[in-house]
Amino acid sequence: MQAPVVFLNTSTRRQSGREAQIQNITAAKAVADIVRTCLGPKAMLKMLLDPMGGITLTNDGHAILREIDVSHPAAKSMIELSRTQDEEVGDGTTSVIILAGEILAQTFPYIEKNIHPVVIIQALKQALSDALEIIEEVSMPVDVNNEQAMIKLIAASIGTKYIAKWSQKMCELALKAVKTVMIEDGDHKEIDIKRYVRVEKIPGGEIEDCRVLDGILLNKDVVHPKMKRMIENPRIVLLDCPLEYKKAESKENFEITKDTDWNRLLEIEEEQVKAMCEQILTVKPDLVITEKGVSDLAQHYLLKGGCSVLRRVKKSDNNRIAKATGATIVNRVEDLKESDVGKKCGLFEVKLIGDEYFSFIAKCKDPKACTVILRGPSKDILNEIQRNLDDAMAVTRNVFFSPRLSPGGGATEMAVSVGLSKRAKNIEGVQQWPYQAVADAFEVIPRTLVQNCGGNPIRVLSQLRASHVNGDSTFGINGETGKITDMREYGIWEPEVIKQQSAKTAIESASMLLRVDDIVSGVRKQK
């Protein structure tokens, strides 16, 4: 009986067994090392150049990894982790990567000792369920309506970012924006940040000028110079149809024999546009906003009727305006009714900021959509502020959905580490070692925090471990000084969801990479 022969393409590379696992773990560690210095308030910034020559300056783990081009499949899978974390909870992207890299690094010796990966994975699964229990134990509930407590909480998520200097301001922005778009229907809460919070970046001015507008901002000017640029309590009509003569879809040929016929054609065009405008003017609007074009003739008629017009507005912006002003978007002028008119807006104004015109639809009564206006010295800084603000809004949203907080500053991770070490002693057999490895891996977060602000990791971690063993589970690292601080006093709390999600994501991905025992790549070897 002959052994089966596997024919692989000559250009294929294949790594199997131990070699593949070592490769994966090395790649994962390399990715973790990239973002390691981006953890904590003393985090370093990374400067990334994209192929187009654009620059990204950031310390947001997810933004860095998104820009990096890697070829190794395991490294790609690690980068995917941060994306999952970002989509799921919006923060903790750096810590997830560091944690996953460290779990793999800690389990590596056991692979070398020929312990079967499946045994290791079982231990990891067990460690995960115990870790989630411990996170639950050290967490505490929070009152969502207490504004001060909420601002403190958001400040903890922002404290590690570039905008920490203006932390108070940014926290208020994030909280106000999320509160604006929150829809409560009995027990059901809906917070759609993506759809109803627009961030408008305007270079120039100072960062202190950032604010949440109680309405919508559009980078548009009215279509005719004589139209009113400031209207109080405007009646707003939103359209999704062109205010122009409707041309035929297919090609059409006219044969004109008399010159009067030609005039008649032009008259028909005019009449059609006039009828449209009259139809609109029956509901007495002050402001007409359409997603399509507006012909010169229509402008003329609407101007006579005392209307201001904005055209070619994006669909998403139009939806936001509808939400903020209570108007309904109408697809045909003929269907326009009094009930479609938006009356919730307090002020329409066109302002010149820098060298661009912006239309403010502001002072809305109870808007369910808003615009965050960001000002700052340069585009790069504004992009970074926006990334940070997105994180802050995601954190706020999470807390509204599940109002439980875990202590920050590496306290939760340390509590998990100490708790798992205790439980590891009761586990029999080989599984005890990988289980202990997870416990050691969780220490990487407080350790990195100490390293990033230039402290002595060995000494500080020993002290921190001792405090946790004695039952002080809220003790963590002050990221500014690198000393041990009680998080209750220091006031750094993070949403429990983030901690749970990062533990789940990190351990699950480590388990997946350990399962791989063969990498076949169809890429030709470089000569």
Q: Is 9 exposed, middle or buried (0-12, 13-18, 19+ CB in 10 A)?
A: exposed
For domain 216-249+258-366, the CATH class is alpha beta
Residue 156 near residue 408, CB atoms below 8 Å: yes
Other CB atoms within a 10 A radius of the CB of residue 431 amount to 18
- pLDDT the model gives residue 325: 85
Question: What number is the average pLDDT over the span 329-337?
Answer: 84
13-141+406-521 and 216-249+258-366 share one fold: no
Distance of alpha carbon 161 from alpha carbon 142, whole angstroms: 23
* 421 within 8 A of 110, measured Cβ to Cβ: no
415 has pLDDT over 70: yes
- CA dist., res. 32 & res. 269, Å (int): 66
For position 249, what pLDDT does the model report? Answer: 63
Q: How many CB atoms lie within 10 A of CB 242?
A: 18
Tell me the catalytic residues.
60, 93-94, 391
Find the mean pLDDT for residues 418-426: 88
Q: Which two tokens stand for residue 142?
A: 């929070």
Considering the chain, what percentage of its residues have pLDDT values greater than 90?
A: 0
Least Cα distance to 401 among 93, 180, 190 occurs for 190
Q: 47 to each of 263, 389, 452, how far by Cα in Å? A: 64, 19, 18
Q: Give the sign of the dihedral formed by CA 186, CA 192, CA 193, CA 198.
A: negative
Residue 299 burial (10 A CB sphere; 0-12, 13-18, 19+)? buried
Is residue 160 very low, low, confident or very high in pLDDT (cuts 50, 70, 90)? low
Name the residue with higher pLDDT: 194 or 347: 347
pLDDT band at 434 (very low <50, low <70, confident <90, very high): confident
Q: Is the model's pLDDT at 289 over the cut of 60?
A: yes
pLDDT of residue 218: 86
Q: Please state, in angstroms and rounded to a whole number, the distance separating the CA atoms of residues 500 and 515.
A: 23
Q: Where are the domains of the chain?
A: 13-141+406-521, 147-214+373-402, 216-249+258-366
Distance CA 406, CA 135 (A): 7
Measured CA to CA, the distance from residue 344 to residue 357 in angstroms comes to 23
CA distance 412 to 477: 11
Task: Say which CATH topology domain 147-214+373-402 has.
Answer: GROEL; domain 2 (3.30.260)
- CATH H-level, domain 13-141+406-521: superfamily: GroEL-like equatorial domain (1.10.560.10)
For 236-282, how does the pLDDT look when each residue is reduced to its tens digit (9 = 90+)? 888 888 887 776 666 677 777 777 777 887 788 888 888 888 888 88
The mean per-residue pLDDT over the stretch 440-468 comes to 86
Q: Which of 169-173, 252-256, 356-360, 392-396 has the lowest mean pLDDT?
A: 252-256
What do you get for the CA distance between the two ends of the chain, in Å?
38
